[in-house]
Amino acid sequence: MLETPYPTIESLYVHVPFCAQKCAYCAFYSEASNGEVIERYTDALVREMELCAHELKPRTIFFGGGTPSLLNLKQWEKILRAMERLQLLGAEEFTVECNPATVSPDKARLLRSFGVNRVSMGVQSLDEALLDRLGRIHSREMVFKSFDVLRKAGFDNVNIDLMFAIPGQTMEIWRATLTEAIALGSEHLSSYEVIYEEDTPLFAQLQAKEFDVDEDLACEMYEELIGRAGGAGFWQYEIANFAKDGPQAEEQVPSSKFQVPEAEFPSRACRHNINYWRGGSFYGLGPSATGYVRGVRTKNWPNTQLYCEQLEKGQRAIESREELSPLARAGETAAFGLRMVAGWPFEDFRRTTGHDLRGEWGDELKQLTERGWGRMAPERFQLTRQGLRFADAAAEMFLR
Ligand SMILES: C[S@@+](CC[C@H](N)C(=O)[O-])C[C@H]1O[C@@H](n2cnc3c(N)ncnc32)[C@H](O)[C@@H]1O
Ligand code: SF4
């Protein structure tokens, strides 16, 4: 193995760019699956892992997509065996994103046996008509069945993704979805308001005025989400992310969990994403994946064919590299970290970026506090509940 003078990178993201069918709202890079292309991708990914393994010692791994669960058993086994050979297994947190239509008992057991210990399942809604409207390939029943399959395979850390403010979704439908999703008993919940991404069918429908956007209803749905998640034992630790906090959580916390838990994050919070939000380094492998290593941001070609061609020549498939000034980078890091309920502890910020949050951005912190969007504590700065709602506007203030 090569010697490296640099510290090893502890987070690994792998992008799997295939979906059975493109959903109406989604702008993530993925294409309709095709057996031959997936085989070629699998080999290229193993090659990319070989090129990077010498400086990787992942504590968190996240296979996202696209739909990683679309890969078949043989393809998964090839990837996981390569990771074993390259000593990339053994992460504390190893997540794989799954679509409920593509979870099978064999696949779940295989993943679990190689150390995958967290599954993130794209549910979006439990209303059959909305699932259809969104172009999802699965039914409600498949969600319940897949969740059961995951539990039986030994997964005790499962996330569920939901979306709200979907065209046609009433408050009543949203409440029913929340009730049923919470009743599944997952350890983690991510819930995003629909974003109208350009070049998606949903965006085109919006442009064609096929429906109206009701911002007030979207706000009420978000409030409902926060209330219901809190009441069910979830701590909100980021704008759209909620996690449970070990077996004692229910008796330990009251219904409103908008506060920093003792250990800063609930125990089932996603470590991989916390590393992103807190400005940590990570490798990104696979078509379109971004990475952030030694202050340089890289992006792989968002084109599976080009990606494979590069790796077949023995080269990384990097489309672009960007190195920000340390101050610009610190500004971005400040903005990202403030998406978290725990905000930024000043000492952590200084250790990560080399800059003093109170010194460099003192005026901004003061403005945010005066507006009621921010709260200054002796050891940290955090956005208030109101501030978190305007986190994008708050983030702008930190960019240099
Ligand atoms: C890569 S997908 C999840 C895994 C898998 N591909 C699936 O959909 O079942 C990541 C998540 O981002 C969210 N998402 C994607 N596009 C979105 C959009 N335009 N607006 C809001 N949320 C979106 C969805 O909740 C989705 O589950
Ligand atoms: S939401 Fe998931 S399944 Fe749907 S197109 Fe995007 S990545 Fe694929």
Determine how β-strand 31-32 pairs with β-strand 18-19: parallel
Q: Report the distance separating Cα 236 and Cα 266, nearest Å.
A: 9
Q: Report the distance separating Cα 289 and Cα 298, nearest Å.
A: 8
User: DSSP string of 82-97?
Assistant: HHHHTT----SEEEEE
Cis peptide before 66 (omega within 30 of 0): yes
CA of 191 to the centre of ligand 2 (A): 15
336 within 8 A of 277, measured Cβ to Cβ: yes
Closest ligand 2 atom to residue 21 Cα is 5
CA of 99 to the centre of ligand 1 (A): 10
Q: What does the pLDDT read at residue 8?
A: 84
Q: What does the pLDDT read at residue 262?
A: 53
Give the residue, by CA position, lying nearest to ligand 1 atom 16: 26
The pTM score is 0.94
Q: How long a stretch of residues is the chain?
A: 400
Q: What does the pLDDT read at residue 368?
A: 96
Question: What is the percent of the chain with per-residue pLDDT over 90, rounded to a whole number?
Answer: 90
pLDDT band at 34 (very low <50, low <70, confident <90, very high): confident
Q: What does the pLDDT read at residue 211?
A: 94
Q: Report the distance separating Cα 96 and Cα 107, nearest Å.
A: 11
To 10 degrees, what angle do helices 35-52 and 304-312 make? Answer: 50
User: DSSP string of 326-347?
Assistant: HHHHHHHHHHHHTTBTT-EEHH
CA 165-167-172 angle, to 5 degrees, is 60
Q: What are phi and psi of 240, to 5 degrees?
A: -115, 15
Beta strands in 270-353 (DSSP E): 283-285, 290-293, 296-300, 318-323, 344-345
Q: Report the distance separating Cα 60 and Cα 189, nearest Å.
A: 19
- Closest listed ligand to the CA of 135: 2
pLDDT band at 33 (very low <50, low <70, confident <90, very high): confident
Q: Report the distance separating Cα 161 and Cα 172, nearest Å.
A: 19
pLDDT in tens, 344-396: 999 999 999 999 999 999 999 999 999 999 999 999 999 999 999 899 999 99
Task: Name, in order, each residue with C-beta under 8 angstroms of 378's C-beta and a sequence gap of 6 or more.
Answer: none
Q: Report the distance separating Cα 24 and Cα 21, nearest Å.
A: 9
Q: What does the pLDDT read at residue 205?
A: 96
pLDDT band at 121 (very low <50, low <70, confident <90, very high): very high
Q: Report the distance separating Cα 46 and Cα 182, nearest Å.
A: 37
116: tokens are 């995958």
pLDDT band at 32 (very low <50, low <70, confident <90, very high): confident
CA of 98 to the centre of ligand 2 (A): 10
Q: Is 192 in the pocket of ligand 2 (CB under 6 A)?
A: no
- Closest listed ligand to the CA of 122: 1
First and final CA of the chain: distance in angstroms? 40
Q: How many CA atoms lie within 13 A of 313 on its CB side?
A: 8
Q: What does the pLDDT read at residue 19?
A: 96
Give the residue, by CA position, lying nearest to ligand 1 atom 25: 161
pLDDT in tens, 248-307: 444 444 334 444 445 689 999 999 999 999 999 999 999 999 999 988 999 999 999 999
pLDDT in tens, 136-162: 999 999 999 999 999 999 999 999 999
pLDDT band at 246 (very low <50, low <70, confident <90, very high): low
Which of 135, 189, 200, 129 shows the shortest CA–CA distance to 157?
Answer: 189
CA of 398 to the centre of ligand 2 (A): 32
